Amino acid sequence: MTTPQISASQNSSSISDTRRHAGTVNSTRPVAWLIPVLTLAVFAQILLMFRCPPDELAARLSLEGAAAAFMNWSFWCLLATLAVMIWKMVLVARYRPVPAPADSDLPSVTVIVPAYNEGAQVLKTIESILASNYPADRLQIVSIDDGSRDDTWKWIQKGCDLDRARVIGVRFPRNKGKREGLYEGFRRAKGEVVVTIDSDSEVLPDTLRNLVAPLAADPTVGGVGGNVRVLNEKGFIPRMLDVWYTFSFEFMRASESQVGTVSCTPGALAAYRRSLVDEFRDEWVSQTFMGRPAAIGEDRALTNEILRRGYKVLYQSSAVVLTEVPTRYVQLCKMLLRWARSDVRETLVMAKFVFTPFRQGSLLGTRINFFWSILQMCLGALLFVPAVLSPILYPSAVPVIAAGLALGAILPGSLYVALRRSAKAFFAIPYMVLAVFGISWITPYSFLTPHKSSWLTRTLPAPRPAFVPHEAVPTMVPAKVVPLHGSPAQAKAA
């Protein structure tokens, strides 16, 4: 019996759509020429701050006591942030992705695709992976239906039918959470490298080859994060997020990669050495926070486990994945709140080892980034009320706030122009406005509710019970379920 293989014609529409969306990706181009422009923008912000120093501004706004002291403290924190940004610019200018290796040097790979209420999109994800220019005999795909209430399992089965030799489908009888789904994938993985890809994402043909390059080139690298781009570009929010994702990955993670410590490998696309994951997967799947199972932040928890064992975690800009993003404000807030809560949790975890000699070599850059991330979180929490109320209570501060927002948008906007050659860079301005006045409440709220582990997205309305006549007897049809091995977390719960 021959195994059906996916053909180029079967997947032409999916891959052509993916290439069309990613046609402007040019993440390997050096951006050193941006440093003078961006440095001038940063210095303009500094001059704006010194032109009206905190004492004078406090006097103008009739602020006294604690309010004036708070403004003075915020001033110096913002100044420190700008100094760190200049340092990061230099790191980004020096960043280069690791070249993809030849076929003979590529490791075997298991791609894990957990899915919950994803519908037909999960099939497109599997198709894009099968269309990768990766040696067929070194590629395995494990897709897990995490107890979906829609037709996700049907589409996973269709993905299995494309190539039964390489694609495995697993179905949970009930929803257990993404972490349990990944754990099942890790347990079934046969590859030397495990890759996690979200079921609402699609990869380019060369993504996997580029993603594993740092792992193939350097045995001290334990994890690699990919370059996340927006798949659904239509709509105001997706266009803003496309600009901000570019900044978050091509700037923030690129600078973190230069010091060997990317703080979070994204769930949309990440790769890890399987031998390392096997060491801690039982501990990771059973992680708790404040006595409760940690059902969120699985990607950053994986990253922390890799770092704690003395391995580097890098970012690979040439490994592109396109992912669906929220299109409505409420969806966006739910996603960001989940991320913020996991940041609070995993920052506490990282604090336990970041000041120890957990890895050979200099750790100064890692610790600067750690302090800076805490500063950003604290500023976000402390500045929420002043940022929202100051334009109302102190109209004279509006020009200063507007100038600060415009200057703050120059960095992500300029980077987007350099890498994408697109006028959509102007969406950096409305995103800055949204960040200050629309979503700044998320950080302080996450500090108050870090114990909550609700996923918040991927939920469906509860099905209405069907009317059954009193005399009728319901027929129970068992679903087809792939045999599972319970995780330590499940055994403990039982």
pLDDT at 473: 33
Report for 17-21, 168-172, 484-488: range of highest mean pLDDT = 168-172
Per-residue pLDDT at 444 exceeds 90: no
pTM for this model (two decimals): 0.84
pLDDT in the model for residue 238: 95
Q: What average pLDDT does the segment 338-345 reach?
A: 94
pLDDT number for residue 217: 97
pLDDT recorded at residue 7: 45
Distance, CA of 347 to CA of 450 (rounded, Å): 11
Q: Which long-range contacts (CB under 8 A, 24 or more apart) does 18-23 make?
A: 18/128, 18/202, 18/203, 18/204, 18/231, 18/322, 19/204, 21/229, 21/230, 21/231, 21/233, 21/322, 22/204, 22/229, 22/320, 22/322
Q: Residue 406's pLDDT is what? A: 77
Q: Predicted confidence band at 422 (pLDDT cuts at 50, 70, 90)?
A: confident
H or E stretch at 168: strand 167-171
pLDDT digits (tens, 9 = 90+) for 28-51: 455 655 656 666 666 666 655 555
- The pLDDT tens digits for 352-378 are 999 999 999 999 999 999 998 988 887
Complete domains list, the chain, with CATH: 34-95+384-439 (no CATH), 103-369 (3.90.550.10)
Residue 483: pLDDT above 60? no
